[in-house]
Amino acid sequence: MIPLSEESIVNAVEKVSKSVVNIASVRMMQDQLFRVFPVQGVGSGIIIDNRGHILTNNHVIDGTDRLRVTLDNSKQVNAKVVGTDEETDLAVVRAKPLEIYNNDEVKFQPANLGNSEELKVGQIVMALGNPFGLTGGPTVTAGIISSLNRNVQFENGILELVQTDAAINPGNSGGPLINTKGEVVAINTAKIPYGQGIGFAVPINTVKSILTDLVENGHVSRPWLGISTVKLNARIASFYRLPIVHGALIVNVEPYSPADNAGLLRGDIIEQIDGNKIEDPSQISAYIRKKKTVNYRVTVIVNRYGRVYEVPFQMETHP
């Protein structure tokens, strides 16, 4: 008899397997002589509803001209991009619904999305993917949650990710990270090139917060402050003769941004936002991101050359 722990893993994988797909993309490229040729890429995805919407990584489908999805039973359907978000490296594509394959109607089996707020360090998780669209179901690697809320720098900002030691290769990018209940708790990303034995995944609650925007609008509307900041420490404070050694030092204010309209200046130090003490600039972006809605009013406590000001302002949609 399979021990309970192993049986839970097997059952969880079986529960999700039918929802894991292979995504093949074709991009048209030019060489030095301006000759056009196709370049194919592969990745994975997870079905999220019975209408054929599939969640994957943005870099899997970025710049693609054609998409083809291979389901767990090896049936292939065409797909189109519905929405993309570079900041979280997430995208939604839709497979052609009710497509006939050898006179059989294609049915989509959606996965069960869990709650990433319930994740614990040391918890067993499995990373699934279908990099080659082969028969026999998806590939599976197992590991544990190594860290939560890991701040990782992307091209478009800092993102809080789940860190795991479950192996995530490029072909599994866009596939699900699941718990032993068979719930999707994060979306794997292989976009981060450094680290041995380290995998990262976007928490499913982050996915849920933008999923409606991606499906209905094709993009994500986010509130915007319009400032660039660095973490203040004793060395920086001493060099510039600043009055405090903790907080987020503003190094740039975008013209006509909400911060500019509120009167924030380069050299100001943000100590608090809506009563939350700021020790690191990532706390500001994380707080704003969780608000989700634009036209939201926030109040920051600013230290300007030793004088403390309370500055209320209204956020706007990121241009």
CA distance 189 to 231: 27
| Residue 41 · residue 56 · CB < 8 Å | no
| Residue 201 · residue 189 · CB < 8 Å | yes
Residue 287 — pLDDT band, cuts 50, 70, 90?
confident
| Residue 83 · residue 217 · CB < 8 Å | yes
Opening angle at CA 159, ends 158 and 165, nearest 5:
125
What confidence tens digit (pLDDT) does each residue in 98-145 have? Answer: 555 555 667 889 999 999 999 999 999 999 988 765 555 688 888 999
pLDDT, average across residues 70-84:
87
Residues 6+ apart with CB under 8 A from 84: 58, 61, 62, 90, 91, 92, 214, 218, 219
The reply to whether 123 and 202 lie within a common domain is: yes
Residue 1 — pLDDT band, cuts 50, 70, 90?
very low
Q: Which residue, 189, 217, 245, sits at the end of a domain? A: 217
What confidence tens digit (pLDDT) does each residue in 211-240 have? Answer: 988 999 888 877 878 888 988 888 888 888
CATH number reported for the structural domain that contains residue 285 in this entry = 2.30.42.10
For residue 149, the model assigns a pLDDT of 82
CA distance 124 to 150: 18
Q: Is residue 203 part of a domain?
A: yes
What confidence tens digit (pLDDT) does each residue in 192-206 have? Answer: 555 556 789 999 998
**238 catalytically annotated:** no
CATH number reported for the structural domain that contains residue 23 in this entry = 2.40.10.10
For residue 19, the model assigns a pLDDT of 92
Specify the DSSP element, H or E, that contains 16. helix 4-17
The reply to whether 168 and 237 lie within a common domain is: no
The reply to whether 95 and 124 lie within a common domain is: no
The reply to whether 211 and 120 lie within a common domain is: yes
Q: Is residue 144 part of a domain?
A: yes
Domain count for the chain? 3
pLDDT, averaged across the chain: 82
The reply to whether 228 and 213 lie within a common domain is: no
The reply to whether 213 and 231 lie within a common domain is: no
The reply to whether 201 and 228 lie within a common domain is: no
204 φ, ψ (degrees, to nearest 5)? -65, -25
For residue 185, the model assigns a pLDDT of 96
Q: Which residue among the candidates 17, 59, 85, 257 is catalytic per the annotation?
A: 59
- Bigger pLDDT: 231 vs 287: 231
Q: Which residue, 78, 105, 132, sits at the end of a domain? A: 105
CA distance to 61, 82, 85, 128, per residue, from 26 (Å): 9, 17, 20, 23
CA distance 6 to 317: 47
Q: Which residue among the candidates 17, 89, 268, 285 is catalytic per the annotation?
A: 89
The reply to whether 69 and 158 lie within a common domain is: no
Reading the block at residue 208, the tokens are: 């849920």
For residue 104, the model assigns a pLDDT of 60
| Residue 131 · residue 43 · CB < 8 Å | yes
DSSP 197: S
The reply to whether 128 and 93 lie within a common domain is: no
Q: In the block, which residue shows the tokens 């509307």? A: 221
For residue 242, the model assigns a pLDDT of 85
Q: Is residue 175 part of a domain?
A: yes
Q: Strands (DSSP E) along 130-167, which ranges?
A: 139-154, 157-164
pLDDT, average across residues 9-30:
81
Per the structure, the complete domain to which residue 96 belongs is given by: 16-105
Q: Which residue, 171, 191, 217, sits at the end of a domain? A: 217
**173 catalytically annotated:** yes
Q: Which residue among the candidates 173, 257, 282, 285 is catalytic per the annotation?
A: 173
Q: Is residue 2 part of a domain?
A: no
Q: Is the pLDDT of residue 186 over 90?
A: yes
> Could you give the percent of the chain with pLDDT greater than 90?
32
Contacts of range 314-319, beta carbons closer than 8 Å, 24 or more positions apart = 314/258, 315/223, 315/224, 315/225, 315/258, 315/288, 315/291, 316/223, 316/224, 316/257, 316/258, 317/221, 317/222, 317/223, 317/224, 318/221, 318/222, 318/223, 318/224, 319/224
